[in-house]
Amino acid sequence: MKTIVVKIGGSLAVDEAKLLDFAVAAAEISKTCRLAIVHGGGKDINANLALLNEEPKFLNGLRVTTPAIMDMVEMTLSGKVNKKLVRMLLSNNADVAGISGVDAKLLEAKPLQGKGDLGQVGDVFRVNAKILETLFAANITPVISPISYGDGISYNVNADTAASEIAVALKADCFVLISDISGVLDENKKIIPHLNKELANSLIQSEVISGGMIPKVQGALESIDRGLKSIHIVGWEGAEAFKAQIAGSANSGTILTGNSQ
C-alpha cells in the first residue's frame, strides 16, 4: 500500500468550500493509501492574533513567536484548524485522528538557529514515526498540526518543514505540497511539469527560480537526497485533479525528482 504525505496550506486551509472539496478527495484516497495530512494555518493565526491586538512580526520570513503568541499559535493550529479538518473528514466517512507534533513526541524540536531571535520557533531533529505506524495499522489517517515538542515546551515549526520530516521518516512514496503556488515557473512564467536536481540548480543559478521558491525547491531536493522518491508542488485545482495527481495519471503542478530524466 502506497504511503502518501500531503501538506495543505494557503487559501485551501481557510476556504471552506475548497477545504470540503479536499476532505472529500482525501477521504476517498485514505481507503486505498496510507495517508498522512499535515496542515498549516498562518492566515487563521493572523486573524486570531488580531483579536488580541497583536501585530504579526516576521524575521527572515519566519514568525517571531513569543510565549504569548505561542499559546495562540498552538490553540489555533492544534485546536481550531486541526479539528475543523478532522470534522470534515469524519463527515465524509474517513477514519481520522487529529494530533500535533507534541503528542507522543511525534515531532521533537530545538530552537531554530541562524535566523535571528525568533523565540519559540523550532527545528525538527527527531520524528517518532511509531505513532503514525500505529494509526496506519488501525486504518486511521493522522491529521497533523506542526506544533512540536522540546524541553517541556511547544515550538512553532514551519508546516512545510514538519511535513517534509514526516515524509522522510515514513519513506513516503509521494509527498505533495498544496498551497497558493501552482508549481515552479520557467522564464515564461509557465509551470515546469518535471524538475530534477540538475535542472533545478541551474534555474536557481540563472535566477529563473527566485524569491521564496528557492528555499521551497532546495528543501524539496534535500528531502529527495534523504530518500524521498518524488515531491509534488501544486495548487488546488479541485478534487478530481488532486486524485489524478496522487494516482499518477495527471500532473497539474511540478514534480521534483532526483534523477536526470
| Contacts within 8 Å (CB) and 24+ apart, 17-21 | 18/236, 19/84, 19/85, 19/88, 20/88, 21/236, 21/238, 21/239
* Statement to judge: residues 96 and 42 lie in one domain: yes
157 closest CA partner among 116, 111, 215, 212: 111
Q: Are residues 211 and 99 in the same domain?
A: no
> Which whole number is the average pLDDT over 124-140?
98
More reliable by pLDDT, 61 or 226 = 226
221 and 103 in one domain?
A: no
pLDDT at 52 over 90: no
Instruction: Evaluate whether 34 touches 136 at the Cβ level (below 8 Å).
Output: yes
Domain count, the chain: 2
Mean pLDDT confidence for 173-197: 92
Residues 137 and 194 both lie in one domain: no
Identify whether residues 22 and 106 lie together within a single domain: yes
CATH, residue 103: 3.40.1160.10
The residue with greater pLDDT, 42 or 170, is 170
The arithmetic mean of pLDDT across residues 12-40, rounded, is: 94
**168's grid cell:** 522522510
pLDDT attached to residue 37: 98
Q: Which residue has the cell 498544496?
A: 178
36 pLDDT above the threshold of 70: yes
Instruction: Residue 220: give the domain boundaries.
Output: 181-261
Mean model confidence pLDDT for the chain: 92
The yes-or-no verdict on residue 260 having pLDDT over 60 is: no
Task: Reply yes or no on whether the pLDDT at 214 is more than 60.
Answer: yes
5 lies in the same domain as 88: yes
Given a cut of 80, is residue 75 above it in pLDDT?
yes
Average pLDDT over residues 196-210: 91
Q: Is 227 left (phi over 0), alpha (psi -120 to 50) or beta?
A: left
**Can you read off the three cell numbers belonging to residue 74?**
498552538
Copy the grid coordinates of residue 151.
524541553
Q: Are residues 165 and 208 in the same domain?
A: no
Does residue 153 have a pLDDT over 60? yes
Higher pLDDT, 222 or 155: 155
Q: Note whether 133 and 252 are same-domain residues.
A: no
Looking at the fold, whether 140 and 192 belong to one and the same domain comes out as no
**Where does a domain end: 179, 207, 242?**
179
Identify the band that residue 261 occupies on the pLDDT scale cut at 50, 70 and 90: very low
Among 122, 147, 179, residue at a domain's last position: 179
Does the structure show a pLDDT above 70 at 255? yes
Beta partners for residue 58, in sequence order:
63
Looking at the chain, the whole-number percentage of residues with pLDDT higher than 70 is 99
* Low-confidence winner among 45-59, 83-97, 182-196 (lowest mean pLDDT): 45-59
Mean pLDDT of 192-196: 94
